Structure 1
Amino acid sequence: MSRMSRRLSGALVTALLVQGVAVVTPATGATGGMSATGTTDPTATASDWTHGTGQGAATHRVTLVTGDRVDLSGAAVAIQPGAGREAMGFQQFERDGHQYVVPNDALRLVTGGQVDERLFDVTGLVAAGYDDAGTAVLPTIVTYADATLGSRSLRATAGARVTRTLQAVDGAAVAVEKKTAGTFWDGMTAGSPTAGLRTASGVAKLWLDGKRQVGLDRSVPQIGAPTAWQAGYDGRGVTVAVLDTGYDATHPDLAGRVTEAVNFTDAADTDDNVGHGTHVASTVAGGGAKYKGVAPGASLIVGKVCRDRNCADSSILAGMEWAAPRAKVINMSLGAEDTPGEDLLEEAVNTLTARTGALFVIAAGNEGSSEGTVGSPSTADAALSVGAVDKQDVMASFSSRGPREDGAIKPEITAPGVDIVAARAVHATSDYLEVEPGYTALSGTSMATPHVAGAAALLAGQHPDWRAAELKAALMASATPTPGADVDAQGAGRVDVARAVHQSVLATPTSLPLGTQEAPADDDVPVVRSVTYRNDGTEPRTLDFAARVTGPDGSPSPAGMFTVTPERATVPAGGTTTVTVTADTRVESGTGVFEGALVGVDTTTDTSVRVPLTITKATPTHKLTVKVIDRAGNPAADYWTDIMSLDGKVYRFVYDPSGSGTVSVPEGRYTVNASVITPSDGSSTLLVRPTLTVTGDSEIVLDARKGTPVSATLSRKDASLRLAAVGFRRELTNGTGYGMRVTADSFGKLFTAALGDDVGPGEGALVADVRGFWAKKGKDGTYDDSPYEYVLVWFERGHLQTNFRRVVRQSELAEVKQKYYSVTGAPSRAFQHNFGFPPEGGSALSAGAIWFDNPGHRTVYYKAADTMWEARYNQYAADGTFQTQFYSNNYETYRPGKRYTINWQQAVPGPRFGRQTFVTRDGNRLSFNIPMAGDHAGHTGYTECDTSRVAFYRGDQKIVELDYPWTDASGPVPAAESTYRLEYSSARSATKGDFDLGTDISGSWTFRSGEVSGSMPVALSAFDFAPAVDQTNTGRTAVIPMRLVRQPGAAPSAVRTVSVDVSYDDGASWRKARLVKVGRDAWTVPLPGRPVTGGYVSLRASAGFADGGAVEYRVIRGYRVG
């Protein structure tokens, strides 16, 4: 059978679903991650701001489960095979902004579903904090086909440490030591690369232990809770479990409410150090010291499953197993992107619900209004998936939408989730700002979910014998729909517990996803479904039934398309009645989604029973069969095939071990590509058909025997090839891109085949590349300390390069001498990645790291034509501690035959803009991320630090304060022109990693800004001091040149005032310097007094501008005194 998916899994972070918090947070809002918090309020508050950890700026090293290492730098990767795997080839994929790197020996296991593809999603691993700087172990989960054999295989595998047994999924959480990851991989697999690897005996699948994210005044009456209280139902006798970040036991709203708390993380206790869990718990059952929760009579048990903003799958699973037998209702305001098939948390929700009857109420996510963004595990069949509305019952813009991958209706219900005021933990993070003492306002589906959990507790108190199915049915049946909102956004509608406690009729099933009717419609078979209504009351209820459905254009569905039989029926007390709904898509109508609800109404009792329904009348689709053949002429078993529509709307992944698979695709134009490994010779063939037009059923054969050889050689005889690669990247007409690249240790193992015609006009650019990396191999067999490196790339447009052969001469290359300056008091080691991009932009690849001494120098030879080069420099202490990382964001271009010199880390360190913009305004949204440790050459710099602070003000009002060291932040600002101030500071111990320069750097920028059209750089400037120093950053200069450098693209403004102070005692005292103007925005600074040899020069400077802007800058230990 074929394995198909709409998309690759892009994120592995389970979000605490609150909008406006870092990407790797629990369900609190995020930039680029799953979040359950969001905002529709146009005014700027801290919760409206999104911020991440500046991941695009730094180089992140990731050790894969196979033991191979990948360095990720934004859209560029560098690959280093693990020990004993030097000849291993790799597949690099780009999907949805994520970079995947899959070793050839893992490809069949990934495509066949035995190994989780997220283990090779390098972008996702970094986002989850699983890079090597974040953790020395890779958390995984092993599930068993046979528990006895599987656990035996685990015990026999070196480098595997079982941290927790997970009975709900028949598996175990396993910590993999990265130093021995290659050994673990060997133990978890069997077979050979030639015959194909399989999982070890008894092992069903190897998963990533992914992370999920977490992110009450008017909201409680909004859902009708006071009416339920007046009827005598406040949740008394019901236990609700909150699986979250812990709770604040000292908060008065939770005093006496929590009967049991257990920590499932590696944190010290159950205390809430984020604030998310406390807010959620008080919304469920707060005691009313200030604001009353939805079910104030309920008891709470708290499972801390999120150490901070991160929630490991294994911790969540353990918390679920603990809570399900103890609680009637379980609140999970966390989630991650839903992936094809059933993931481990979805499986556990279904298993535990069936076993215990507990209802899991789970946030749908904060991924916005795009189709299919609803998050897991709310996508489990048994879960009640919760979206968010504002206080006027309008859908929140951030609330994730359905449908689920298979068309099921998710989310299923909504609740208030915008600016919800509830308890603030005493140890909450700084972004959980107090709106009044002890309380904070948050937005997100994280906030909506506890409203529904509380409502479920009220019903459970009213009906102690009800299990999850009845609770879910009653809440959905009684919901109040939001006019104009799609079913895929709101499900049944906003929870209405006032109606629920007075309404006795339930419906099963709770929703009717009627599927997709393929074109043409004239032969469609009508879809018939039955709904059973159950009356738990003491009086019969007579209901009038109708299908209230609208078409894709929002108008009512045509007559005859939906019929209900009978249209009126009586549900007897204690009995049931069945109603049938029929959807006949043969009725003349447009194509698209028809949605609404089967509604049963008893006007005499205000009973209204809603069952949301959808059916899709598809545009014409056709079967596309893909046959893949390897270079030996055999049906391929090790391959990866993508089918992508040119508009980016349709993606199909095709794999079948037989080498032939069939998928259905709409009519249209597609790119088809495949990477085919031939086991007998270890070769990889990349095949690309840029454009395939599908108008009917068709077949395409991807035959690796059509591949032509690729070769490139140097005239330099002592240079050895380190890595060879071929690839392509396709720009889609929706502005996104995707691509594939394959690597080998020899060009002799790479082949390419260009199929069909070249890319035509208006079809989106295709840029193909061939890459080669050479250096001098040492006696130890590595390339470390090679005095030179060759980094070459050739681009081709419209099609893959075929029959590619090059002999490279020195005259074709640019020779660039790299000089490395030291910011530490002891020798260190460093490496530099060199990424070649086409002028159009896109992704890039580099070979693994070549380590060298710092200070020092070496030479890099670049292919000069048709390439933009980005170099990234990383420095580590002798003990392996990361020290500093600079990268050239200037995309340098070089000329053939020319010589250049580049200096890295030359004093004085401080904020630099390079050629990029780091503070921008787009309409009424402002974004910032200032690299605070740049160098004199203009390289933007990021460095390790002990403490840091970022604060943003409008006038004297603080809008947001962050404590992340290098933070990307973005948020709304008023349209009217205002004065803003941005403050940055970072400090590091002089003994941390042997640092003795730039130990304390701070900057402050004041600027005026108002609404703009499009994205514009903010008018900021930075100081650049340039003392004469050697490569240890030591100098005896008496005069320092100084410039003010404007952020690129910003409007110029005359300097009105400027001053500089100098310190020779690390800032304990300062002396004013006399400035000598030598040009526009340029001065010299004669040093006052005489600095002491062996000491340091610290600098403090400020300037004011005619446009009202200002800049202040201070660096302690700017350079050494010789």
Structure 2
Amino acid sequence: MTIPSAPRRSVLRALAVSVALVGGAIPASGTAASAEPPGTYTLTINHLDRAGRATADYLTGVHGLSGPNAGKSVKPHDASGTTTVRLPRGRYALDSALHKSEPADGVDWIVQPRLDLDRDTTVTVDARTTAAVDVRPPDPAAKLYVGMMLAEITHNGVTHHPNVSTGGAELRVAHLGPAAEPGSVRQWFDGHWEAGKGVYSLGYAFTGDRALTGLTRHPARRDLATVRVGAAATPGTSGYANVFVTPSAGPTVGYGGTVKTPGTATHFVTPERGTWDFMYATRDASGATARRYHADGVRVRAGETTSLTFDNAVFGPDLTGRPGAVREGRRISVDLPLLADGEGHTSVERAPDETVSFTLHRDGVPVAPEASAPGRAAFTVPPGRAAHRLTGTARRTGAPGTATRVTSVWTFASATTAGPTPLPLSAVRFSPGLSLTGTAPAGTALRIPVTVQGAAANGRTRSLTVSTSTDGGATWTRLPVTRGAVTFRNPPADTGVSLRAELTDTDGNTLTQTTVDAYRTR
């Protein structure tokens, strides 16, 4: 089996490790042959340490891949170093972690991906066959936070994920036994190191018919990609946030650390591991999670820098990857974040000071909601075609700051549908260059890019107007939209600037979107 692994991104994704209990295993000793079920065989496993001596310091798992024990596991152990167990005929995978009582003495992990049990069989797990996992970042002062070696062994539709982790002890690994089928063994190593200049996350993946015997990787800085995570300081947060990073592919271990807000966390990652997932969590004054964002599948390239900023203005509706509302028959379902941050990241949690609600009118008559959740609602409307007005409102009632109120009003015609049909909603994104406190310099001209999403995107906008307010939305001033942006001269310091967009698409559907205190001046 394995040394217990460090938790991978406890709020990111749970490690999918096979831990099925024993099924169909029969102790080999003290059992009369006449009482043994037919088609079972004795498996004897010898365990030897780095000096070639029998050892009791091991964790061994035998995992069924085919036959009666497919998907089941047994963990035999005997203090003599030799253990026996009777198992039904079938294909198994075996892995064994040999270790001293002190973790600092190191771990030898041996994986046999193919063990065909069709007769009495003896296997020797020998630590002297292993080779070092020598993976390290270019900064010699970096300290290992956690590392994990994980295998994925697949046969006959059954998959097993043995793994071993290390927090700094020497890790040595080896393949044992015959080769399995081509491509049936995947294996990867992921490690995370902390350094003064940032966090190094190095990952390497392999596919073949054998487990790894040793691994050496010493990447230079030019071999790595840089991801800079901007941590905004929004009103009501505590002055620090949590950043978690993990490879997108495969169950594995991730890194979790803190960053001061406003501030920047720098991560160096290996592009060959594929895309990377980032999770960002703000904390309120009590230290509890206020908002939690995900940026999954971030693509990186060696030598290049990618920037991600979380929890910064301008907050507002976002339709990236979603229609916002769908009608199926008489039912209208709404799934639309109203407080996506300036880069479109959507919080999967609602802060205590936030309220979000949706209302629907059909031909001017309110429709009672039948279900409601943050960012979601459902309504059942009478059959037939009618004019609809959907209103979404989000409020922040805590410390005054950015996006104290966001309101979107959509109008559209809709009739009963035969199946799920997206409704023609649009959204407008404002993207000014702001500091990590959601502010812009007072008295300066600020260019604010304007992007249309949804039904009115890609040339389907008939009209679009943008207005600003510096008195909380009491009065508005219209600005011309030129080449996808408006330009606004900022008011005196510590003033909230509100933004409003009004558009009509080419089919006559409309949107009025208002963000009170979209950003502030400093």
Q: Could you state the TM-score of these two structures normalised by the residue count of structure 1?
A: 0.38
Measure how far apart 1:757 and its partner are: 1.9
Measure how far apart 1:796 and its partner are: 0.7
C-alpha distance 1056-750 of structure 1, shift in aligned 2 (>3 A): farther
Matched, 1:1084 2:491: no
The Cα offsets for residues 292-314 of structure 1, whole Å up to 9 and x where unpaired, read as xxxxxxxxxxxxxxxxxxxxxxx
Instruction: Name the amino acid aligned to 2:254.
Output: S
Which residue of the partner structure matches residue 743 of structure 1? 165
Matched, 1:860 2:267: yes
Instruction: Name the amino acid aligned to 2:309.
Output: N
C-alpha distance 1005-769 of structure 1, shift in aligned 2 (>3 A): farther
Instruction: Name the amino acid aligned to 1:1034.
Output: T
Instruction: Name the amino acid aligned to 1:94.
Output: V
Distance 2:378 2:68 in 1: 27
Which residue of the partner structure matches residue 935 of structure 1? 341
Which residue of the partner structure matches residue 94 of structure 1? 17
C-alpha distance 970-701 of structure 1, shift in aligned 2 (>3 A): farther
C-alpha distance 722-842 of structure 1, shift in aligned 2 (>3 A): closer
Match of 1:629 among 24, 47, 60: 47
C-alpha distance 987-972 of structure 1, shift in aligned 2 (>3 A): closer
Measure how far apart 1:797 and its partner are: 1.2
**Contact persistence 1:712–1:747 (CA under 8 A):** no
Instruction: Name the amino acid aligned to 2:318.
Output: R
Which residue of the partner structure matches residue 72 of structure 2? 652
The Cα offsets for residues 762-813 of structure 1, whole Å up to 9 and x where unpaired, read as x6xx43211222222xxxxxxxxx4412111111113433221122211211
The Cα offsets for residues 289-338 of structure 1, whole Å up to 9 and x where unpaired, read as xxxxxxxxxxxxxxxxxxxxxxxxxxxxxxxxxxxxxxxxxxxxxxxxxx
The Cα offsets for residues 703-744 of structure 1, whole Å up to 9 and x where unpaired, read as 26244321112332332222222113457876x965343221
Alignment of 1:494-573 (within 5 A): none
Which residue of the partner structure matches residue 125 of structure 2? 703
3-state SS of paired residue (2:170): helix
Q: Is there any run of 5+ residues in structure 1 with no aligned partner, and where?
A: 1-65, 77-91, 101-110, 112-339, 342-404, 407-617, 777-785
Distance 1:1011 1:666 in 2: 53
Matched, 1:678 2:125: no
**Contact persistence 1:951–1:958 (CA under 8 A):** no
Q: CA RMSD for the aligned pairs?
A: 4.8
**Contact persistence 1:908–1:935 (CA under 8 A):** yes
Which residue of the partner structure matches residue 371 of structure 2? 961
**Contact persistence 1:949–1:961 (CA under 8 A):** no
Which residue of the partner structure matches residue 106 of structure 1? none
Distance 1:1110 1:644 in 2: 60
C-alpha distance 1052-724 of structure 1, shift in aligned 2 (>3 A): same
The Cα offsets for residues 816-848 of structure 1, whole Å up to 9 and x where unpaired, read as 3433332237771123222123xxx33342234
**Contact persistence 2:97–2:107 (CA under 8 A):** yes
**Contact persistence 1:921–1:1012 (CA under 8 A):** no
The Cα offsets for residues 465-521 of structure 1, whole Å up to 9 and x where unpaired, read as xxxxxxxxxxxxxxxxxxxxxxxxxxxxxxxxxxxxxxxxxxxxxxxxxxxxxxxxx
Distance 1:926 1:665 in 2: 55
3-state SS of paired residue (1:865): helix
3-state SS of paired residue (1:845): coil
Alignment of 1:472-487 (within 5 A): none
Which residue of the partner structure matches residue 143 of structure 2? 720
Instruction: Name the amino acid aligned to 1:75.
Output: R
**Contact persistence 1:654–1:663 (CA under 8 A):** no
Which residue of the partner structure matches residue 494 of structure 2? 1094
C-alpha distance 1075-642 of structure 1, shift in aligned 2 (>3 A): farther
Which residue of the partner structure matches residue 253 of structure 2? 845
Instruction: Name the amino acid aligned to 2:193.
Output: W
Higher share in strand = 2
Paired-residue identity, %: 19
Which residue of the partner structure matches residue 311 of structure 2? 905
**Contact persistence 2:332–2:381 (CA under 8 A):** yes
**Contact persistence 2:333–2:379 (CA under 8 A):** yes
Distance 2:346 2:499 in 1: 19
Match of 1:874 among 269, 281, 295: 281
Distance 1:716 1:827 in 2: 31
The Cα offsets for residues 831-875 of structure 1, whole Å up to 9 and x where unpaired, read as 3222123xxx333422342x2321122432121234211222222
Which residue of the partner structure matches residue 794 of structure 1? 204
Q: Is there any run of 5+ residues in structure 2 with no aligned partner, and where?
A: 25-36
C-alpha distance 648-997 of structure 1, shift in aligned 2 (>3 A): farther
The Cα offsets for residues 914-951 of structure 1, whole Å up to 9 and x where unpaired, read as 5x558697999998754443333333334513353455
3-state SS of paired residue (1:1094): coil
- Larger Rg: 1 or 2? 1
C-alpha distance 1103-1051 of structure 1, shift in aligned 2 (>3 A): closer
Distance 1:739 1:892 in 2: 25
C-alpha distance 728-1026 of structure 1, shift in aligned 2 (>3 A): same
C-alpha distance 819-1020 of structure 1, shift in aligned 2 (>3 A): same
C-alpha distance 859-1038 of structure 1, shift in aligned 2 (>3 A): closer
Distance 2:156 2:335 in 1: 30
C-alpha distance 797-980 of structure 1, shift in aligned 2 (>3 A): farther
**Contact persistence 1:726–1:741 (CA under 8 A):** yes
Which residue of the partner structure matches residue 272 of structure 1? none
C-alpha distance 960-1092 of structure 1, shift in aligned 2 (>3 A): farther
Distance 2:304 2:494 in 1: 39
Instruction: Name the amino acid aligned to 2:434.
Output: V
**Contact persistence 2:151–2:161 (CA under 8 A):** yes
Q: Could you state the TM-score of these two structures normalised by the residue count of structure 2?
A: 0.74
C-alpha distance 649-662 of structure 1, shift in aligned 2 (>3 A): closer
The Cα offsets for residues 583-633 of structure 1, whole Å up to 9 and x where unpaired, read as xxxxxxxxxxxxxxxxxxxxxxxxxxxxxxxxxxx9x97557474736465
The Cα offsets for residues 7-59 of structure 1, whole Å up to 9 and x where unpaired, read as xxxxxxxxxxxxxxxxxxxxxxxxxxxxxxxxxxxxxxxxxxxxxxxxxxxxx
Instruction: Name the amino acid aligned to 1:1105.
Output: D
**Contact persistence 1:790–1:862 (CA under 8 A):** yes
C-alpha distance 1020-727 of structure 1, shift in aligned 2 (>3 A): farther
C-alpha distance 1075-959 of structure 1, shift in aligned 2 (>3 A): same
**Contact persistence 1:1059–1:1101 (CA under 8 A):** yes
C-alpha distance 711-760 of structure 1, shift in aligned 2 (>3 A): same
The Cα offsets for residues 1065-1091 of structure 1, whole Å up to 9 and x where unpaired, read as 444x2425344252xxxx33455x974
Distance 1:801 1:825 in 2: 49
Alignment of 1:281-320 (within 5 A): none
The Cα offsets for residues 99-128 of structure 1, whole Å up to 9 and x where unpaired, read as x9xxxxxxxxxx9xxxxxxxxxxxxxxxxx
Match of 1:813 among 221, 224, 239: 224
Distance 1:933 1:827 in 2: 19
Which residue of the partner structure matches residue 61 of structure 2? 641
Which residue of the partner structure matches residue 28 of structure 2? none
Instruction: Name the amino acid aligned to 1:800.
Output: A
Which residue of the partner structure matches residue 151 of structure 1? none
Q: How many residues align?
A: 489
The Cα offsets for residues 262-305 of structure 1, whole Å up to 9 and x where unpaired, read as xxxxxxxxxxxxxxxxxxxxxxxxxxxxxxxxxxxxxxxxxxxx
Match of 1:769 among 188, 211, 217: 188
Distance 1:70 1:1071 in 2: 49
C-alpha distance 921-717 of structure 1, shift in aligned 2 (>3 A): same
Which residue of the partner structure matches residue 27 of structure 2? none
Match of 1:1073 among 454, 478, 501: 478
**Contact persistence 1:984–1:1002 (CA under 8 A):** yes
Which residue of the partner structure matches residue 581 of structure 1? none
Distance 1:630 1:974 in 2: 75
3-state SS of paired residue (1:938): coil
Higher share in helix = 1
Distance 2:39 2:384 in 1: 51
3-state SS of paired residue (1:811): helix
Instruction: Name the amino acid aligned to 1:639.
Output: L
Distance 1:921 1:650 in 2: 43
Distance 2:277 2:450 in 1: 27
Distance 1:697 1:975 in 2: 69
**Contact persistence 2:8–2:252 (CA under 8 A):** no
Which residue of the partner structure matches residue 295 of structure 2? 888
Measure how far apart 1:645 and its partner are: 3.6
